[in-house]
C-alpha cells in the first residue's frame, strides 16, 4: 500500500514503540497524528528533536469522544494507517501476600490494552471506510500491538496476558469484518524490547533479560518494530496475521 502523503494515527506515540513508529512513518512522508495521555504529550512536546511531521494529540484511547477528536485531526479521506501501541503492564499475582489480585487493576489493563485498542480500531475504520480505494481496492491498514505474553504469560502477568491475548484474538475477526471495506488488520507481538520503561530496571536486569533470547542475544529495538510496521504496509497480501518479533523467545514461567 502506498503511504507517502497519507495520514497515520499512532497511539502511545510519546515514547517507546509508538514514538519509533511515528518517527519512521513521518520519515516516509506520512502526516502522523501521535496520540498519548496529556501528561505524556506535555513531557514529549518540548523535546528539541521532535520529528517533523508528527503532531502529538492528548487523548485516552479508551475514551470515545477523545479518540473521535483525534481521528478527526486527519484531513478527510487521508487516514490510511493506524498503529495501536498504547498500553500498560501491571504486575500482580492472582493471590499473593497482599491477598487476592485487586479487580480494578485487572479491569484497567483490559480497559486500556484491549478496549482501548478496539475503540481506536473501530473509530479509525469508520473513517477509513470512506476513503477512495487505491488500485488494489485498499482503503487502509490497522496494526495492533499484542505481546509474547499473549501466548506465554509469566507469573504476575495475568492481567497483561489476558488483555494482550484479547488483542491477538481480535486480529482475524477484525480482518474478516473489515475486508469488505478494503482495510487490512495485522498484529505484532513483540518480545523484550528496549524501551524507556525497561531501561528503568537497570543494566543488570536488562543484560539478564537479553541472555534469555535465543538469537540474537539482545533486547529488541523500537526501530525494528517500526520497520515491521512499514513492511506490513508494503505487503498488501499480509492480512489477519499476528507476527511475533522476539528473537525466537518463549517466555519461562518467571
State residue 50's pLDDT score. Answer: 60
* Residue 152 counted as domain residue: yes
* Residue 253 counted as domain residue: no
* Residue 11 counted as domain residue: yes
Split into its structural domains, the chain has a count of 1
Give 81's DSSP letter. Answer: E
* Residue 2 counted as domain residue: no
In terms of Cα–Cα distance, which of 200, 195, 205 is closest to 226? Answer: 195
* Residue 254 counted as domain residue: no
**CATH number, domain at 197?**
3.40.50.720
State residue 48's pLDDT score. Answer: 46
Give per-residue pLDDT as tens, 121-148: 999 999 999 999 999 999 999 999 999 9
Give per-residue pLDDT as tens, 156-212: 999 999 999 999 999 999 999 999 999 999 999 999 998 877 776 678 877 888 889
Give per-residue pLDDT as tens, 26-61: 999 999 999 999 999 998 865 545 667 899 999 999
Question: Any residues with CB less than 8 A from the CB of 113 and at least 6 apart, and which?
Answer: 87, 88, 160, 163, 164, 166, 167
The span from the CA of 55 to the CA of 57, in Å, is 6
* Residue 74 counted as domain residue: yes
Residue bearing the bigger pLDDT, 101 or 251: 101
Give per-residue pLDDT as tens, 201-230: 678 877 888 889 999 999 999 999 999 999
State residue 135's pLDDT score. Answer: 94
- Residue 92 pLDDT level (bands cut at 50, 70, 90): very high
* Residue 208 counted as domain residue: yes
Kindly calculate the radius of gyration of the chain based on its CA atoms and give it in whole angstroms. Answer: 18
Active site residue 160: yes
* Residue 1 counted as domain residue: no
Domain range spanning residue 115?
A: 7-245
Which among 160, 163, 194, 226 is annotated as catalytic?
A: 160
Amino acid at each position: 500500500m502506498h503511504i507517502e502523503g497519507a495520514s497515520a494515527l499512532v497511539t502511545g506515540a510519546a515514547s517507546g514503540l509508538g514514538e519509533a513508529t511515528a518517527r519512521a512513518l513521518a520519515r516516509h512522508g506520512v502526516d502522523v497524528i501521535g496520540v498519548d495521555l496529556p501528561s505524556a504529550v506535555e513531557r514529549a512536546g518540548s523535546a528539541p528533536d521532535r520529528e517533523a511531521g508528527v503532531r502529538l494529540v492528548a487523548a485516552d484511547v479508551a475514551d470515545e469522544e477523545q479518540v473521535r477528536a483525534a481521528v478527526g485531526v486527519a484531513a478527510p479521506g487521508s487516514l490510511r494507517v493506524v498503529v495501536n501501541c498504547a498500553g500498560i503492564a501491571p504486575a500482580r499475582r492472582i493471590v499473593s501476600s497482599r491477598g487476592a489480585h485487586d479487580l480494578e487493576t485487572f479491569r484497567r489493563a483490559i480497559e486500556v490494552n484491549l478496549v482501548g485498542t478496539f475503540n481506536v480500531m473501530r473509530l479509525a475504520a469508520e473513517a477509513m471506510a470512506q476513503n477512495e480505494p487505491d488500485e488494489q481496492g485498499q482503503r487502509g491498514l490497522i496494526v495492533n500491538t499484542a505481546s509474547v505474553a499473549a501466548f506465554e504469560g509469566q507469573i504476575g502477568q495475568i492481567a497483561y496476558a489476558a488483555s494482550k491475548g484479547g488483542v491477538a484474538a481480535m486480529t482475524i475477526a477484525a480482518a474478516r469484518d473489515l475486508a469488505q471495506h478494503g482495510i487490512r488488520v495485522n498484529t505484532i507481538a513483540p518480545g523484550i524490547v528496549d524501551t524507556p520503561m525497561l531501561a528503568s530496571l537497570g543494566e543488570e536486569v536488562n543484560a539478564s533479560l537479553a541472555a534469555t533470547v535465543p538469537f540474537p542475544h539482545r533486547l529488541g529495538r523500537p526501530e525494528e518494530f517500526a520497520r515491521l510496521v512499514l513492511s506490513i504496509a508494503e505487503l498488501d497480501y499480509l492480512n489477519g496475521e499476528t507476527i511475533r518479533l522476539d528473537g525466537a523467545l518463549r517466555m519461562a514461567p518467571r
